[in-house]
Amino acid sequence: MSQATMTEREPLNGVNVPTLFATIDAVKENRELAKFQFRATNKWESGTHSRSTIKSYSGAGGDHEHVREFMVDADHPQVLVGDDKAPLPVELVLAGLASCLTSGIGNIASARGVELYSVESTIEGEIDVQGILGLNDEVRNGYQEIRIDFKIEGNAPQEKLEEIVMQSRARSAVFDVITNQVPVQVTVNKG
């Protein structure tokens, strides 16, 4: 990075750009800081309704707590035999993907000195519930396809704004989780 670029490293779009670069530099010096573990606990409430609680995580060489405990409820709507008290788990996944890409857009635009005016997206996923209902073994349980479309405005040409979206895709944790497989181990505690 040239000195000229350095002078652009000031807070932008609500992103503390100096802290962002300092974080990258710190991890570059000590790769162990990059190891994070995220967690949630979940408690069944009734029917298809459950509540996840998110508080602690570890990373950057230590244990941390969010500034407050976050609760994320999920349920099924009536048409899928629930009480519709909260979004579906598969809708939380869509929110996770859209927000991960959008966080990345916020960081990347700021690092590149682009002021964002607005970032909006719509995300859709197709599911054939024959899978989860056990009616057809050839139909997968999850989404068959997900599409997300961004509308982004800022003080840069459209081409540069599109590059920021695509760079966010290239570095998105949730995009990777969904488009590549992650091993998941399910166990039952014998108490």
User: Under rule CB under 8 A, which residues in 93-122 are in contact with a second copy?
Assistant: 93-107, 110, 116, 118-122
Given candidates 6, 9, 90, 156, which one binds a second copy under the rule CB under 8 A? 90
State yes or no: residue 42 binds a second copy (CB under 8 A).
Answer: yes
Alpha-carbon gap, residue 75 to 88, rounded angstroms: 5
State yes or no: residue 3 binds a second copy (CB under 8 A).
Answer: no
Residue 62 C-alpha from the chain's centroid = 22
Name 66's Cβ contacts closer than 8 Å, sequence gap at least 6: 54, 55, 56, 57
State yes or no: residue 169 binds a second copy (CB under 8 A).
Answer: yes
State yes or no: residue 138 binds a second copy (CB under 8 A).
Answer: no
Which CB contacts under 8 angstroms, 24+ apart, belong to 182-191? none
State yes or no: residue 156 binds a second copy (CB under 8 A).
Answer: no
- Our CB check for a second copy shows the closer of 6 and 140 to be 140
Report yes or no: 12 and 113 within 8 Å, Cβ to Cβ: yes
Given candidates 1, 2, 7, 14, which one binds a second copy under the rule CB under 8 A? 14
Alpha-carbon gap, residue 9 to 15, rounded angstroms: 10
Q: How far is the CB of 190 from a second copy (least distance, A)?
A: 7
Residue 78 C-alpha from the chain's centroid = 27
Most distant CA pair in the chain, distance: 63
State yes or no: residue 172 binds a second copy (CB under 8 A).
Answer: yes
- Our CB check for a second copy shows the closer of 6 and 120 to be 120
Q: Which residue has the tokens 């996770």?
A: 96
Given candidates 5, 6, 8, 59, which one binds a second copy under the rule CB under 8 A? 59
State yes or no: residue 177 binds a second copy (CB under 8 A).
Answer: yes
Q: How far is the CB of 153 from a second copy (least distance, A)?
A: 8
Q: How far is the CB of 5 from a second copy (least distance, A)?
A: 16
Alpha-carbon gap, residue 69 to 14, rounded angstroms: 23
Structure tokens at 27: 């991890």
Given candidates 1, 7, 37, 138, which one binds a second copy under the rule CB under 8 A? 37
